[in-house]
Structure 1
Amino acid sequence: MDFSFKKRSVKKLYLEYTVLFLFLALCIFGTYLITGHSFIWSKDALNQHLPLLAKYREAVINFFHHPGTLNFWSWQFGIGSDTFQVFSYYNIGDVFSYLALLFPAHKITRAYQFISIVRMYCVGLAFVYFAQHFKFRNTTILAGTTAYLVNSFLLYACVAQPFFTTPFILFPLIVVQIERILQGGSAWPLAGAFTWMLISNYYLAFILGIGSLIYLILRVTTKYRKTLSYLHALIKLAFATITSLLLSAIMWIPELIAVRHSTRLGAQFANGLKVYPLYYYLFLPKQLINGDQWSFMFWSALGIVSIGFIALVYVYIHAKKYPLITISLGLALLMLLIPAVGATFNGMMAASNRWTLLIYLPLSTAICLLVENAHCISHHSLKIISFATGIYVAILLLTFLFENENDIVIPLLFLLTSLLLLWLISFHRLTHPQLWLLSIIVLNAGFNAIYASFPYNGDFSTKMLSRGQYQRMMAMRYGGLDQGLDRTPSYRVSTISENQIIDVPTIDNDLTSGLHNIDSYYSLQNQYLGNFSTSLQNNQYQTNVPLRQVDDRTVLNNFLGVKYLFVQSNGENATKIPEGYLLDQSSQPIINYDSGQPSDIQDKKDFIPTQTNRYKTNNEFPLIYWQGSYISQKRYQKLSPTEKERALASGVVVNQEKVTKGMEQANLDNHVYQLRSNLISNRLNKVNPKHLKYTDSEEKYYIELPQLTNSTLRRKLRGSELHIEFSQIKFTPFSMKEQIKYEQQHLQQMATNPGSIVNYKYNQYRYWRYHILNGSPDISFKINVGSRFGTATINQPKQSTLSFFKQVKKTTLNIGYYNGGLPDKLSFQPTKLGTYRLKYQVVAEKLDNHYHKQVATIQQHRLRKLKFSPNKVQGTISTNKKGILTSSIPYSSGWHASVNGKTVKTVRTNQAFLGIPLSAGTHRITFNYQLPGFRTGIVISIIGLIWTILAAILSLIFNKNK
């Protein structure tokens, strides 16, 4: 197959595509409208894409009104973040984001959904542009376009991860422009495509860059090996690459710096996987044509129309004629089998096969080849296709029998119908064969799209927000209790862990209320903030979510300046309120008579209402404050996580200890008490936690605290927060054979009735099937610790959780703050059979007058007369001795400071935060933020622009003379 750059009449083709898209768009998006849903997913779209689009629109309009004003720091992205770091990943380079400027602010949800449709239209447009360079009929091109446009990846991405549609637009354009150069054409179009690629999103540019290089190598090897003018082609490719790198430097240089200082650095390669779980390989064949599925299995989201399988067989029958497609798809299959490939494409992190977005171009081209040549396929070839289809159908039926999921039935019907059509065409029973095949492909794609968005099909479509729900949720983010609160960044707010005020699975970011919530969920997070969270063993830490609610730990909430907590009374952990937070205001009570009520109610006044509560404290640390005593790094590292947390009120840890010369060391007698504990089984066995062999899922455990039976100690420890500090967590799952053996033993023990018998053969299969489908044995587990406040959980995610995977080797559980006496027993329950090796200690952190006096002292030493302006915060302070001005502002090399107009070097305090050394006296302090790498990026981009202009002039002169 050869590219041709000869002009052809394409107006009719694009008109036909537009009509086709209207039908497909109705199938993709129309079902949501019929069922009362929007195109807004209640996870990433709710947390990130839509509110960030609104924020970015606001920032762009502000820039138009105040040219030259670029605000690089936001106090609303968690506890504070670089705006460029966030916007560059989602918005700045996304040309479609700017369509939001056409809509008023109150119509932002409409803008977001309109942009989703436009993106998808451009995806199909890109494939039409690509395919028109071949000698294909219009119907053939439309058939391939339908397959390219409607697939599992895009059906998910267009409503859940919209910017993942952009590479579907870019890759066909890049391939065409590489081909143009290989045929001796201009390098300028490729330079433009590469520039767009580099500006749009660094992560997607990385995937597209590798994909482009693979295409170039394969194309030269299979087509131009002997005819290519290598020097000329290399010069043109180098020109396009260098020009695009120079022009886009303003984006990728700051982005690269941000990535290097993010929590993603140092992630475990491929989440520790050497091979995928067995279920992955079993169900991978089904993925190919299961176009309406959402369980992507490590993002291996193929899901094209059913005729795609037949197209694959067809091109492999004619492998010598189509070497590029057969080699690329064969290589892709091998790549899909190896986790290390997915991890490499994913920036050396989790084994995420998002790179499969590159596969759709050769797959759809294969479908075009089949449709174009359908009228001349030989009977011999059709017999081979039929035989291969029969084997494939048998595999799918075996998969169906094993998995018992009927989602493959309709794709199978379309597969067999497509094969039947090819036989009818072969026997000349159908006129206009391409039109018949286009019709079956469009029907298949339309059905997949409708089925994917119907509410009865699993849980994805039901997680789309209802129309108007986004605005309502944002208005009631805190149950209406945020009304009247000052929006200054000098304090922050939070919620309680697992306690959802808004009825969605998770809501992290708050970009709409104007308050400053410590919780944030973005792809790039400050590396130092991650270090702080892991140092204090914050059980809620994740790479994308470094703090969340800091596990409701009192001192951490105080340190981060959390003044208000919002809590839903009927939610999880509703009574797990940190010390010092008192009920301040409540929403109007609502009584649910059918749920959550006591069974013995005698009077209407005894019904328990549901309401949102706001708690307030006076113990929040100031945003910026002075500390006169310090803690050395060596001393700090010897402290337990709870002692480290408690030490935040006693002194400051500085990464450059030379600046603490002349300061006194902090007193760390902070009333953190270690308690003896015993692990007891309900079988009355004392268990060694260092070797807990968990073989029976019905066995229960308890952590006994024998010292707390002593009334004197109980009185002493009143008003303490109870923590369990795990210094070692190691889980070894049983082998499949051992797992099934112990489960069979449990059934035998449960068969206590006369005449009971255990069917070992049946249960052998039942357990084996269960473990295969769930990827067992694997490293995931949970450990639940129960108290009167609820359940605290250690969660080791599966390796298939990709971006949210973390290997839990140690952590600290906050059981809760006990105003009265501490409990003498806690429930303790693993969830997975296997061997646990645990080292832990139970500690009581007493939050008494000693702590409150330390907080009061810190509050007296706050930076006063705070003034916030874009990229800047100012204030004044008077001190009587040398110390450190510290803060809870995340540290970055972009922060610069001046004291009384003189520049001073910033230091990193308490692992992650901005600080400066300060001598005695009265000082006027200014902190100013500049985007790291921005000036360098501008200079290089200007050089690139000059280079481009000069190159364009020379090119024009050369072409004119030629």
Structure 2
Amino acid sequence: MANETTVPLLYGIKYYARFFSGFISMDSPGHQTFLGYTVIAFPAVILLFATKGEKLLKTGFVLLTGFLCIPFIAHVFNGMSYVTNRWAFGYTMLVAYIVVKMYPVFLKLCIRQKIILIVFTVLELLACMAGIAGKYLVGEETKLKVMTILLFLLILFVAVLCMSKKQKNPGKIFFTFVMCMNVGCVLINALDVRTREADANRFIQQGSAQRQLENIPSAELGEFSEEKNSWRYDEEETGEIKNSTLQTGLYGTSFYFSMANPYVAEYQSSLYWNNTQEQSYRGADKRSALEILGGVKYFVTPKERKGPGAYQEKKNYVAGEKEFTIWESGKKLPFVFAYDKYIGRDEFEQLNIEQKQQALMEAVVLERDKDIGDWDKEYIVSNDAKEPETIWTSRGKIKLEENMIQVQERGATLNIQTDIQYEGEVYLIFEGLEYEDGASSGISRTKSKITINITQNKIKKKIVFNNANEFAENNGKNNFLCNLEMNEPGKKEIEIKFPYTGTYRFKNIRVVVQPVEKIIKNAENLEKGVDGWVCADGNEVKASLELEEPRLVCLAVPFDKGWTAVVDGKKAELMQANIMYMALPLEEGKHEIELHYSNPFICTGAIISVIGILGAVICITGNYVKRRRK
């Protein structure tokens, strides 16, 4: 993936404050650091260090506790990705083992050990109280849980201190007492989680998940199943379930936490994609050019919404209790684009965003000179988009300065008034957007994601970007394009609402109108002189194309080193094209094309696995023979 993660030396102060309370309750410090142990865990750890020996356990606890306090370790343990402590289950296993080892010691405490337990009990109590007083433990429910469990902790210590070694069956008494305390702690946490409305609503009736998958609005596209392997679909506000194409068997434009290569992320970043998560791909914000270039033939919307500007209405239908509309691009070969010009990647990246979008519809983007070969029809950059004049006004405590917006009140807005002279897709473009929270110190930043809400007439959009100074999932993206969709000529007003106080810096904020007629004409040119069919099926793509003249044929299938190509029975070299797709130079005439994908290291992995299995068999057989001889 192309994700960039900023990893500082330390977490914020709230993380460390909540670590103490999180050890005895479900008050997570953050970054998926879930501890939440019952009352026996804390005194068991203290008793470990008050007891001689057990150097390995002591070293392990200190080491892993230190790991939980250092963001870089969380970065490493998450595969060099964003900072998260999902590995904390390993820490929990260690704490559980410490409890088991120290349990018998509770039955024979000396005076020194009792004093140490008292001192650290008071320190834990003071630490949690400081957290509550300093508002590092937020919410009345959290405070109640922590204080109740602290009370249990004190009761446990008093019982331990008062317990006499001369008592009859002290082990049974202690076991019963500890189990009652443990059950009480579990009930406090479980009751809170179960009664929260947000969590309770996550439960659904048996069988309803399957019904939802089978009845999603896009399932209506199944009527075009005779050609379903030659196009993709996209949707907006239909309640589409993530990764639902696994159920429908259709090709969509979304994935979530699936395997992806860095070229997809580079494509999104280069084209100001309004998406900050490389592991999540969800359409192209109805940008007609990018939808067409993605092989999207059909677009599904609620009936009251419009499709992309270059798409035409095809069908209205009812799914469940709602009405929906299917829009069609009109492209006969959605996966195939035949170019007669090229532009180098370096030159392409120097263009502004509207020039890039237009260039992709008129010329193929190639990575290196050697990819170009003998092709000599270089693209001359053009730009049909226009920037209308704008007037800026504000509402609320907000101040607009050169390349900087000072927001002093949450929910303050900027209004952009503009007069659009001709029909087209309207884009609101943010370049170099960054956020600074003036009230936060370097160690206590907590706003990792910033959402800016944008409204134009009935269209509501939002831009979500990562705080450049936050380390949770910062990927370095600060250029965004928000598509305000097809607009008729006339005066328009765009409202930009800011959620947090602070300073929003930017290099440029501008409005651009992209004529849709030009996009439609370019799409037609990309099919002109090309006839045939294409079929994508899992790890295989087949096509039969007839060209009237030599073309650079681009396929809307993500490029990867695992792909190999055969053209007219001969092996051919695939080019990386349009950043994330692939292309083949073809002469005029008819061509049979086959593409096959294989994981690059699958053979190496298979060989290593076989060697490992044979090694294990030899070792087991050898040991068996030795035992038989003895």
TM-score (norm 2): 0.89
Q: Which stretch shifts more, 935-944 or 551-560?
A: 935-944
Q: 1:679 aligns with which of 392, 406, 410?
A: 392
Q: Distance in 1 between matches of 2:526 and 2:191?
A: 59
CA contact (8 A) 1:622 1:858 kept: no
Q: Distance in 1 between matches of 2:164 and 2:552?
A: 84
The 5-angstrom pairing of residues 597-616 of structure 1 reads: 610-616=322-328
In structure 2, the gaps of 5 or more residues are none
Q: Does 1:558 align with 2:263?
A: no
Match of 1:457 in 2: 196
CA contact (8 A) 1:269 1:349 kept: no
Distance 1:680-1:510 versus aligned 2 partners, 3 A rule? same
Alpha-carbon displacement from aligned partner over 1:757-778 (angstroms, at most 9, x marks no partner): xxxxxxxxxxxxxx99xx5575
Match of 1:516 in 2: 251
Across the two proteins, how many residue pairs are aligned to each other? 619
Match of 1:896 in 2: 564
- The offset of 1:814, in angstroms, is 1.4
Match of 2:483 in 1: 814
- The offset of 1:428, in angstroms, is 4.8
- The offset of 1:388, in angstroms, is 2.1
Match of 1:284 in 2: 19
Q: Distance in 2 between matches of 1:800 and 1:361?
A: 34
Letter in 2 for 1:475: E
Distance 1:565-1:465 versus aligned 2 partners, 3 A rule? farther
Q: Which stretch shifts more, 921-930 or 386-395?
A: 386-395
Alpha-carbon displacement from aligned partner over 1:844-900 (angstroms, at most 9, x marks no partner): 11011x432322233345562334556322221122332212111001111111111
The 5-angstrom pairing of residues 211-360 of structure 1 reads: 262-264=1-3, 267-270=4-7, 273-291=8-26, 293=27, 295=28, 297-318=30-51, 320-360=52-92
CA contact (8 A) 2:454 2:497 kept: yes
Q: Distance in 1 between matches of 2:155 and 2:306?
A: 60
Alpha-carbon displacement from aligned partner over 1:473-532 (angstroms, at most 9, x marks no partner): 111222763452317221111122xx2526xxx735531111211110115322111111
Distance 1:623-1:430 versus aligned 2 partners, 3 A rule? farther
Q: Distance in 2 between matches of 1:303 and 1:779?
A: 24
Alpha-carbon displacement from aligned partner over 1:573-601 (angstroms, at most 9, x marks no partner): x45754324262231685xxxxxxxxxxx
Q: 1:733 aligns with which of 420, 425, 437?
A: 437
- The offset of 1:392, in angstroms, is 1.8
Q: Does 1:532 align with 2:267?
A: yes
Letter in 2 for 1:525: A
Distance 1:684-1:783 versus aligned 2 partners, 3 A rule? closer
- The offset of 1:667, in angstroms, is 5.4
Name segments (4+ residues, structure 1) moved above 6 Å.
683-686, 799-803
Distance 1:331-1:931 versus aligned 2 partners, 3 A rule? closer
- The offset of 1:535, in angstroms, is 0.9
Q: Does 1:493 align with 2:219?
A: no
Q: Does 1:627 align with 2:339?
A: yes
Match of 1:418 in 2: 156
Distance 1:631-1:621 versus aligned 2 partners, 3 A rule? farther
Alpha-carbon displacement from aligned partner over 1:136-186 (angstroms, at most 9, x marks no partner): xxxxxxxxxxxxxxxxxxxxxxxxxxxxxxxxxxxxxxxxxxxxxxxxxxx
Q: Distance in 1 between matches of 2:464 and 2:88?
A: 30
Q: Distance in 2 between matches of 1:307 and 1:568?
A: 55
CA contact (8 A) 1:287 1:301 kept: yes
**Alignment partner of 1:890: what SS?**
coil
Q: Distance in 2 between matches of 1:899 and 1:576?
A: 37
Distance 1:932-1:445 versus aligned 2 partners, 3 A rule? farther
**Alignment partner of 2:433: what SS?**
strand
Q: Distance in 2 between matches of 1:867 and 1:619?
A: 15
Match of 2:607 in 1: 939
Q: Distance in 1 between matches of 2:299 and 2:266?
A: 25
Match of 1:191 in 2: none
Q: Distance in 1 between matches of 2:411 and 2:566?
A: 63
Match of 2:514 in 1: 845
**Between Structure 1 and Structure 2, which shows a larger proportion of strand residues?**
2
CA contact (8 A) 2:40 2:178 kept: no
Q: Distance in 1 between matches of 2:536 and 2:74?
A: 44
Alpha-carbon displacement from aligned partner over 1:84-126 (angstroms, at most 9, x marks no partner): xxxxxxxxxxxxxxxxxxxxxxxxxxxxxxxxxxxxxxxxxxx
Match of 1:364 in 2: 96
Distance 1:427-1:459 versus aligned 2 partners, 3 A rule? farther
CA contact (8 A) 2:18 2:131 kept: yes
- The offset of 1:910, in angstroms, is 0.3
CA contact (8 A) 1:626 1:886 kept: yes
CA contact (8 A) 1:479 1:612 kept: no
Q: Distance in 1 between matches of 2:598 and 2:449?
A: 42
Match of 1:835 in 2: 503
Alpha-carbon displacement from aligned partner over 1:318-349 (angstroms, at most 9, x marks no partner): 1x322222222122232222212221222233
Match of 2:457 in 1: 788
**Alignment partner of 1:313: what SS?**
helix
**Alignment partner of 2:432: what SS?**
strand
**Alignment partner of 1:939: what SS?**
helix
Distance 1:554-1:801 versus aligned 2 partners, 3 A rule? farther
Letter in 1 for 2:390: S
CA contact (8 A) 1:540 1:551 kept: no
Q: Distance in 1 between matches of 2:368 and 2:247?
A: 38
- The offset of 1:834, in angstroms, is 2.4
CA contact (8 A) 2:387 2:511 kept: yes
Letter in 1 for 2:316: Q
- The offset of 1:438, in angstroms, is 6.0
Distance 1:451-1:589 versus aligned 2 partners, 3 A rule? closer
Q: 1:884 aligns with which of 552, 556, 560?
A: 552
Q: Distance in 2 between matches of 1:533 and 1:313?
A: 51
Q: 1:436 aligns with which of 176, 199, 209?
A: 176
Q: Distance in 1 between matches of 2:83 and 2:521?
A: 50
Distance 1:943-1:338 versus aligned 2 partners, 3 A rule? closer
CA contact (8 A) 1:559 1:621 kept: no
CA contact (8 A) 1:569 1:612 kept: yes
CA contact (8 A) 1:554 1:579 kept: yes
Q: Distance in 1 between matches of 2:256 and 2:398?
A: 43
In structure 1, the gaps of 5 or more residues are 1-261, 591-609, 738-770
Match of 1:64 in 2: none
- The offset of 1:382, in angstroms, is 2.6
Letter in 2 for 1:645: Q
Q: Distance in 2 between matches of 1:686 and 1:824?
A: 22
- The offset of 1:356, in angstroms, is 1.9
Match of 1:447 in 2: 187
Match of 1:9 in 2: none
Q: Distance in 2 between matches of 1:947 and 1:549?
A: 48
Q: Distance in 2 between matches of 1:508 and 1:870?
A: 15
**Alignment partner of 1:353: what SS?**
coil
Match of 2:616 in 1: 948
Identity %: 17
- The offset of 1:284, in angstroms, is 1.1
**Alignment partner of 1:896: what SS?**
strand
Letter in 2 for 1:724: L
The 5-angstrom pairing of residues 532-931 of structure 1 reads: 532-545=267-280, 547-568=281-302, 574-575=305-306, 577-582=308-313, 584-587=315-318, 590=321, 610-619=322-331, 622-660=334-372, 661-666=374-379, 668-682=381-395, 687-697=400-410, 699-705=412-418, 708=419, 714=421, 717-718=422-423, 720-736=424-440, 776=445, 778=447, 780-797=449-466, 804-818=473-487, 820-821=488-489, 823-838=491-506, 839-848=508-517, 850-860=518-528, 864-868=532-536, 871-931=539-599
Alpha-carbon displacement from aligned partner over 1:189-248 (angstroms, at most 9, x marks no partner): xxxxxxxxxxxxxxxxxxxxxxxxxxxxxxxxxxxxxxxxxxxxxxxxxxxxxxxxxxxx
TM-score (norm 1): 0.60
CA contact (8 A) 1:543 1:803 kept: no
Q: Does 1:373 align with 2:105?
A: yes
Letter in 1 for 2:563: W
